[in-house]
Amino acid sequence: MAKTSRTARKSRRKSVSVAPMPFGGDHGPGTRAATVGTLLEPVVDDMGRNPNHMGRRRRKIIIDDMLKRQTITMRQHQAAEAIQLAYLGVQRLSSGGPLQEQVQSSPKPDAAVAIQVGANSRFVRVMKAVKSSDRELIEAVCFHNKPLRSAIRGGYVRGYTRFREALDLVADHMNY
């Protein structure tokens, strides 16, 4: 075997990686349980640039993805968002977080009851227009943030149609 000269070794090209650099910053634990249902997105400034190549972990919200893909209209998205916020308001009160703070700072226990009644009333008002046959679809997407295909039974196209019709009924009821 012949030895290569020094100039031949120097003239060899070095390989350059074209793989994208991972985002910098703290994204929390990298375990599967912590990252499921989330996405890593770039942190951009006012000019739309990311000069420090930083990223943040954000939870995927199914109804926002459906709006982005134009599966649902803006009006249907508003109805789905109203359902989601009403449900989360009831769930937040059942955990006792804001309710405990208000009870401790309020001399009257009636304030806590009024908060609970208000959250439940808002939830009932929003869900009033949803048919019982379509409730399963609404619960899967708006309550539990699952993809619609996980709740559809009886045909993919028919399930999407039923979901859109249910959101239209809620939007009509809420005057959106």
Q: Each residue of 138-163: pLDDT tens digit? A: 999 999 999 988 888 777 788 899 99
Tell me the per-residue pLDDT of 63-95, one tens digit each, with 9 for 90 and over: 999 999 999 999 999 999 999 999 999 988 876
More confident residue, 106 or 124: 124
80: CB partners within 8 A, 6+ apart: 63, 66, 72, 141, 142, 167, 170
More confident residue, 115 or 7: 115
Band of residue 129 on the pLDDT scale cut at 50, 70, 90: very high
Structure tokens at 120: 């439940």
Which phi and psi (to 5°) does residue 31 adopt? -70, 160
Give the angle subtended at the CA of 162 by the CAs of 135 and 75, to the nearest 5°.
90
64-71 long-range contacts, CB within 8 A, separation 24+: 66/141, 66/148, 71/160
Tell me the per-residue pLDDT of 28-54, one tens digit each, with 9 for 90 and over: 787 888 888 888 888 889 998 988 888
Q: What percent of the chain has pLDDT over 90?
A: 41
Q: How far apart are CA 152 and CA 134, in angstroms?
A: 10
- Report CA torsion sign: 43, 53, 62, 95: negative
Q: How far apart are CA 20 and CA 42, in angstroms?
A: 13
Structure tokens at 102: 């208000």
Q: Is 174 helix (H, G, I), strand (E, B) or coil?
A: coil
More confident residue, 3 or 64: 64
Among 60, 40, 79, which residue's Cα sits nearest to residue 175? 79
Band of residue 2 on the pLDDT scale cut at 50, 70, 90: low
